[in-house]
Amino acid sequence: DAGVIQSPRHEVTEMGQEVTLRCKPISGHNSLFWYRQTMMRGLELLIYFNNNVPIDDSGMPEDRFSAKMPNASFSTLKIQPSEPRDSAVYFCASSLETTDTQYFGPGTRLTVL
Amino acid sequence: QQQVKQSPQSLIVQKGGISIINCAYENTAFDYFPWYQQFPGKGPALLIAIRPDVSEKKEGRFTISFNKSAKQFSLHIMDSQPGDSATYFCAASISSALSNTGNQFYFGTGTSLTVIP
């Protein structure tokens, strides 16, 4: 299996621009998680889906952030408009409902200038 | 509110020494406690995990000690090697066997381990 796939791996954009991060979970996994990692705040859960349905989005910082999971094999995290404080590494992880292990992707390093 | 508290923030150990990282939690409903290892530029990867029905789990040089009454668990790395230098995260969750909406992890803040040759 290819593991969790994230794209792009690096993104540099200017303040005010729209940013879309993409994730393909491991085939067959039915839970998907979006995390943000910074030096100051560590690893934060932003939102997670179970069977394509958002379960908990309480970690989403503000209305500029939105996430979708239109089908079992694809999810997006969108930031519009982006701000310099959004600069971080964003991870996607997936898991199988009958097990507890979360498998992380390689992350997207976002830099907002 | 931090559901899982982890210490220390950073740790420097000599090669061959023992590395110990501690975590504490409050929610007694948690029943799954994994440790994740993260190398620079990579995503976290599961290292070892324990459930509260046992007090210790060992896999090679890595051991989790679990104290249910104290609501604490720790990772011990025996014979630490320079290749163990990484960031370690503890986490806690209500396992998917008890939740019908997936298993949300509550991560600690991480410990940066450096093993000096």
Question: CA angle, B98 as apex, B95 and B104 as ends, to 5°?
Answer: 40
Distance CA A85, CA B41 (A): 20
Tally: H helices and E strands in chain B: 0, 11
Q: How close, in Å, is residue A31 to chain B by CA atoms? A: 6
Chain B residue with CA closest to A41: the answer is B109
Q: Is A25 on the interface with B (CB under 8 A)?
A: no
Q: How many CA atoms lie within 13 A of B101 on its CB side?
A: 9
Lowest mean pLDDT among A18-22, A70-74, B9-13, B28-32: B28-32
pLDDT above 70 for B116: yes
Amino acid at position A24, single letter: K
Option in A4, A45, A101 nearest B46 (CB):
A101
Residue A97 has pLDDT above 80, yes or no: no
pLDDT band at A98 (very low <50, low <70, confident <90, very high): low
β-bridge partners, B9: none
Residues of A in contact with B43 (CB under 8 A): 4, 91, 93, 104-107
For residue B1, pLDDT beyond 90? no
b/e map A67-77, b = 16+ CB within 10 Å = bebeebbebeb
Kindly report the average pLDDT of chain A as a whole number: 93
User: Percent of chain A at pLDDT above 70?
Assistant: 98
Confidence of residue A83 (pLDDT cuts 50, 70, 90): very high
Given an 8 Å threshold on Cβ–Cβ distance, is A95 in contact with B102?
A: yes
Higher pLDDT, A56 or B99: A56
CB within 8 Å: B107 and A97 = no
Q: Do B105 and A102 touch (CB under 8 A)?
A: yes
How far B78 CA sits from the closest chain A CA (Å)? 24
Q: How far apart, in whole angstroms, are the C-alpha atoms of residue B117 and residue B102?
A: 42
Is the four-CA dihedral B88, B93, B23, B15 of positive or negative sign? negative
pLDDT reported for residue B45: 96
Residue B84 — φ and ψ, nearest 5°?
A: -85, -10
- Position B102 pLDDT exceeds 70: no
Distance CA A26, CA A93 (A): 9
Taking residues A102-113, report their average pLDDT.
Answer: 97
Asked if the C-beta of A48 comes within 8 angstroms of chain B's C-beta atoms, the answer is: yes
Tell me what pLDDT residue B94 has. 83
Query: In Å, how far are A2, A55, A67, B105 from A25, measured between CA atoms?
Result: 9, 17, 14, 17
Q: How far apart are CA A103 and CA A63, in angstroms?
A: 27
Asked if residue B79 has pLDDT above 90, the reply is yes
| Contact present, B44 and B79 (Cβ < 8 Å) | no
Determine contact: A50 vs chain B, CB below 8 A.
yes
Percent of chain B with pLDDT strictly greater than 70: 93
Give the model's pLDDT for residue B11. 97
Under an 8 A CB cutoff, do A101 and B34 touch?
A: yes
Give the confidence band of A42 by pLDDT, cuts at 50, 70, 90. confident
* pLDDT tens profile B4-22: 999 999 999 999 999 999 9
Which residues lie across from A7 on neighbouring strands? A22
Residue-level pLDDT at A1 = 63
What does the alpha-carbon distance between residue A87 and residue A110 come to, in Å, rounded to a whole number? Answer: 5
Which among B46, B89, B97 has the least Cβ separation from residue A43? B89
Residue B99 has pLDDT above 80, yes or no: no
Q: B43–A104: do the CB atoms touch at under 8 Å?
A: yes
Is it the case that residue B2 has pLDDT exceeding 90? Answer: no
How many inter-chain contacts (A to B, CB under 8 Å) are there?
Answer: 64
Across the interface, whether the CB atoms of A56 and B104 are under 8 A apart is answered yes
Please indicate whether, in this complex, the C-beta atoms of A107 and B43 are within 8 angstroms of each other. yes
Closest C-alpha among B76, B81, B63, B82 to residue B22: B76
Terminal Cα-to-Cα distance of chain A (whole angstroms): 36
